[in-house]
Amino acid sequence: MSAWSSFQGLFPISSPWFLLVVMASQLMALLLLLLIAGFLGSWTCKKTMSKIIEGHWLSCFPDTCTSLVSLNFACLKGEVNLAALERLIARSPNLRSLRLNHAVPLDVLQSILTRAPHLVDLGVGSYVNDPDSETYNKLVMAIRNCMSVKSLSGFLEVAPPCLSAFHLICPNLTSLNLSYAPGIHGAELIKLIRHCRKLQRLWILDCIGDGGLEVVASTCKDLQEIRVFPSDPYIGNAAVTEAGLVALSSGCPKLHSILYFCQQMTNAALITVAKNCPNFTRFRLCILDPTKPDAETNQPFDEGFGAIARSCKGLRRLSMAGLLTDQVFLYIGMYAKQLEMLSIAFAGNTDKGMQDLLNGCKKLRKLEIRDCPFGNAALLMDVGKYETMRSLWMSSCEVTLEACKSLAKKMPRLNVEIINENDQMDVSADDRQKVEKMFLYRTLAGRRKDAPEFVWTL
């Protein structure tokens, strides 16, 4: 498994679960019933639904539907019925949240904003146009009437020179999500952020650079949550480093939640961050090259992450990927007493690391481990611990089928599932073989009856 594949599973964490989806016709029939009954005020298209919803689905909303408060189809890849969209919005006076996909052009966006000036949450799809065009000038006028917008996202396709139109509403923004906007580069992004002094939540790509994060730190004093995603994890350029992280920690005193992808880090920086932000409740740091040590001392990052665990007494969620030994798990077990969710990748030396962790973190509810050397001894050391946890996920570790069977036998109230997505699981397989993925979770319902063929419940 590649390093980036593991990181995608951990940051942000995606539950290894199987969603039940219905046929598009059944889905729309259900929506219609809910709409007619007046129960549905919000509709969001999830990624799992995007593959089955296509065509003129917007026409399925009846003319009597006037109670819509939220509409989100940003993840849909296909075309939409623009006329039906405009009609739906025109008859939805209570609409407050709208997130569009790339198929909604600028002229329709302008028309929509004119009809929905009371939007609080706006997700822009396509934003490509000539800033000297009449359409763009009309859009600027429409945006001026949308001063209630607090949350801005999207820009899946963008012409950066046109971004200045949104500078008008930036002073009121508390949330900005540009994590799907690779077309907005550092300079234009920094211009936009300089107008966002009330931001509390910011999701961006690492193309902003350390200099851009310093601007965030000096501008957004109310910032509480930030996520910095890799614009291209395979290139390996150090777009953001420990300097950007330290700047954020020193300039944003209210910061309590962070997700940070970087190519380079130091223990000294992490120790400084821990001192600057002792109120972290969620700390997720991914060093994209898991073999890369401290950029200054060539040491593992045990002391840095240990400082986070020691200083942040209220830490409930921790994700880490980088060069780490068993020592870091000893620190986490000793100090992170409120920890409920931990995700790790490419960390540890022996089973002792996992044992120290489980012994110390009494409130741990969810543990996700990928590409770590933990094996049977760690898994079976204290199986009673799993009764107090919600789930344990282990992939590409040293656990064997025999250990998983033993665990399932000792703990019949737990579901132990072996997942092999490449091949159907062979029930008669050698018990000594290592399992690709194991998912353990507490349940009152017994074995799942909807598991696909590549999932074997022990």
CATH class of 24-173: alpha beta
Quick one: CA dihedral 111, 116, 120, 123, positive or negative?
Answer: negative
Q: Check residue 50 and give its pLDDT.
A: 46
Cα torsion 266, 218, 178, 131 to 10°: value is -140
Q: Check residue 234 and give its pLDDT.
A: 62
Pairing of β 317-324 and β 282-287:
parallel
**How far is CA 21 from each of CA 51, 57, 68, 177, 341, rounded to the nearest angstrom?**
10, 16, 23, 28, 28
Q: Is the peptide bond before 105 cis (omega within 30 degrees of 0)?
A: no
Q: Check residue 347 and give its pLDDT.
A: 94
What are the mean pLDDT values of the chain's consecutive 10-residue runs (458 residues total)? 56 39 44 48 53 63 84 84 91 92 89 93 83 81 93 87 87 96 86 96 95 97 97 71 97 98 95 98 94 94 98 97 95 98 95 95 96 95 92 95 94 90 63 91 81 82
Q: Check residue 44 and give its pLDDT.
A: 60
Q: Check residue 46 and give its pLDDT.
A: 55
* One-letter identity of residue 428: S
Are residues 301 and 274 in contact, defined by beta-carbon separation less than 8 angstroms? no
Assigned token pair, 434: 């290592």
Q: Check residue 431 and give its pLDDT.
A: 82
Assigned token pair, 420: 């092999």
Q: Check residue 375 and give its pLDDT.
A: 95
Assigned token pair, 383: 């199986």
Give 355's contacts (C-beta < 8 A, 6+ positions apart). Answer: 377, 378, 381
DSSP state letter for 239: S
Q: Among 92, 94, 93, which residue's Cα sits nearest to residue 84? A: 92
Q: Check residue 238 and give its pLDDT.
A: 62
Q: Among 72, 76, 116, which residue's Cα sits nearest to residue 92? A: 116
CA 193 to chain centre: 21
Pairing of β 151-158 and β 366-370:
unpaired
Q: Please state whether the predicted TM-score (pTM) of the whole model is above 0.75.
A: yes
Q: Check residue 77 and give its pLDDT.
A: 80
Indicate the helix (H) or strand (E) that contains 218. Answer: helix 209-219
R_g (Cα) of the chain, nearest Å: 24
Which DSSP string do the residues of 127-190 spell out, in sequence order?
Answer: E---TTSHHHHHHHHHHHT-TT--EEEEEEEE-GGGGGGGGGTGGG-SEEE-TT-TTS-HHHHH
DSSP state letter for 284: E
